[in-house]
């Protein structure tokens, strides 16, 4: 507007001049504010920070604890242990796989309590060949380990027959091992005493018991081969121990000569890995002098248990006879039927002909009528025929 007024030669009025002065002052003040804005924002930040620090000092709960070397180290260890337990692939079902591998290889040191038999015992046996061409198997070594893998029993069995094949490449047994072997009866007794009132763990454990001529209650047996198939770990009903150990522990065993101690430890390691799941369906074992009803030992039998119905007895291998309640009931019933010649009963054939006399509306005669049959002789016959009369 001012340029237009100057170009036109018109003189601006006093009001116009006053308006121009006020507009110029506003522009200068706005420029100063924009320049001094940085300093004012910084001052505000400093003041706000100082106020927050004063509030923190006033509140006792927000005062930080002094950090020492011990506290810092404990915090680091706790954080590391928690992270390792939550994300470490070495932990499976609450068990350390590396610790179980060390147990199988025998690289664990045991204290006095860990060397006790305990509740669980794992067994494994080795055989040698006897008989024609060594085709028959004979028990040669028995090993028992406890829950921690500590060796409880490891004995060689003296052979009654000549050993044709020691099967060293599989059994690991040599002729020199038989120098300090013990008789079969002594080994059998020691094993039976150890297994009494304990849970027996084994892989295809029925083979080991068969070699020892022993039986063990089904409720006190934990067969890793059976439970692995039942629990869905494998599709094979007869998976080999080395394959199961490789699958569950990522450990290779039985590469060369076998060791019954190593195999027993491997069996116990697999059992420990799945113990919580495998023990869910098992009920408590009755103690000595306690009935099965009070201890709640009624159970459902699994596959292959039909052949062991008569073998479930004490730990010494004796066979338990079935209950004789039915027989006693039969004995209590009185037999009112009259015995007849030949040892038969009325209405039942004993191999002899039976004649029964009936009378209409009359009671049966109690006389021994078969001894009083009349003799009728037919005329013109050379012999005689006896006929029993009966009235209908």
Domain contains 275: yes
pLDDT in the model for residue 302:
43
pLDDT in the model for residue 89:
75
What sections of the chain are H helices per DSSP? 2-8, 14-58, 69-87, 97-105, 168-171, 184-195, 205-212, 224-230, 241-249, 260-273, 275-278, 292-295, 325-332
pLDDT in the model for residue 350:
47
How is the chain split among helix, strand and coil, in percent rounded to 5? 45, 15, 45
Task: Provide the CATH number for the domain around residue 161.
Answer: 3.30.420.10
Q: Residue 274: which domain range?
A: 100-282
Q: What is the pLDDT of residues 109-133, one digit of tens each?
A: 999 999 999 999 999 999 999 999 8
Domain contains 142: yes
Domain contains 313: no
Helix axes 260-273, 97-105, angle to 10 degrees: 160
CA distance to 86, 265, 366, 369, 374, per residue, from 391 (Å):
97, 85, 16, 13, 14
Indicate whether 329 pLDDT > 80: no
Domain contains 185: yes
User: Domain tally for the chain?
Assistant: 1
Domain contains 160: yes
Beta pairing class for 221-223 and 199-202: parallel
Domain contains 301: no
Higher-confidence residue: 225 or 292?
225
Domain contains 258: yes
Q: Which residues pair with 139 in a beta bridge?
A: 127
Domain contains 134: yes
């Amino acid at each position: 507007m001012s340029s237009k007024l100057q170009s036109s030669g018109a003189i601006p009025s006093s009001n116009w001049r006053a308006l121009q002065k006020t507009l110029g002052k506003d522009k200068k003040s706005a420029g100063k504010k924009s320049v001094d804005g940085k300093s004012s924002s910084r001052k505000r930040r400093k003041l706000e920070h100082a106020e927050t620090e004063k509030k923190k000092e006033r509140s006792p709960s927000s005062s930080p604890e002094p950090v020492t070397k011990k506290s810092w180290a404990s915090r680091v260890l706790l954080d590391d242990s928690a992270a390792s337990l939550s994300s470490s692939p070495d932990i499976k079902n609450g068990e350390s796989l590396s610790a179980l591998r060390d147990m199988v290889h025998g690289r664990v040191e045991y204290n006095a309590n860990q060397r006790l038999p305990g509740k669980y015992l794992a067994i494994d046996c080795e055989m040698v060949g006897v008989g024609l061409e060594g085709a028959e198997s004979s028990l040669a070594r028995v090993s028992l380990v406890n829950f921690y893998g500590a060796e409880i029993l490891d004995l060689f069995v003296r052979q009654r027959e000549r050993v044709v094949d020691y099967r060293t490449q599989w059994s690991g047994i040599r002729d020199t091992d038989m120098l300090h072997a013990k008789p079969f009866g002594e080994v059998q007794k020691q094993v039976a005493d150890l297994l009494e009132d304990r849970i027996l763990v084994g892989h295809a454990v029925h083979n080991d018991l068969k070699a020892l001529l022993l039986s063990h209650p089904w409720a006190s047996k934990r067969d890793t081969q059976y439970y692995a198939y039942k629990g869905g770990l494998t599709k094979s009903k007869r998976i080999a121990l080395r394959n199961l150990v490789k699958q569950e522990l990522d450990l290779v065993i039985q590469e060369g000569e076998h060791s019954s101690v190593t195999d027993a430890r491997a069996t116990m390691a697999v059992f420990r890995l799945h113990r919580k799941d495998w023990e869910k369906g098992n009920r408590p074992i009755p103690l000595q002098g306690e009935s099965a009803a009070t201890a709640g030992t009624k159970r459902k039998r699994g596959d292959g248990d039909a052949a062991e119905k008569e073998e479930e007895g004490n730990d010494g291998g004796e066979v338990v006879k079935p209950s004789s309640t039915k027989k006693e009931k039969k004995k209590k019933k009185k037999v009112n039927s009259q015995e007849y010649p030949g040892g038969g009963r009325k209405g039942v054939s004993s191999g002899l002909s039976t004649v029964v006399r009936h009378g209409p509306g009359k009671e049966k005669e109690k006389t021994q009528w078969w001894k009083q049959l009349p003799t009728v002789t037919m005329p013109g016959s050379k012999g005689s025929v006896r006929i029993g009369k009966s009235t209908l």
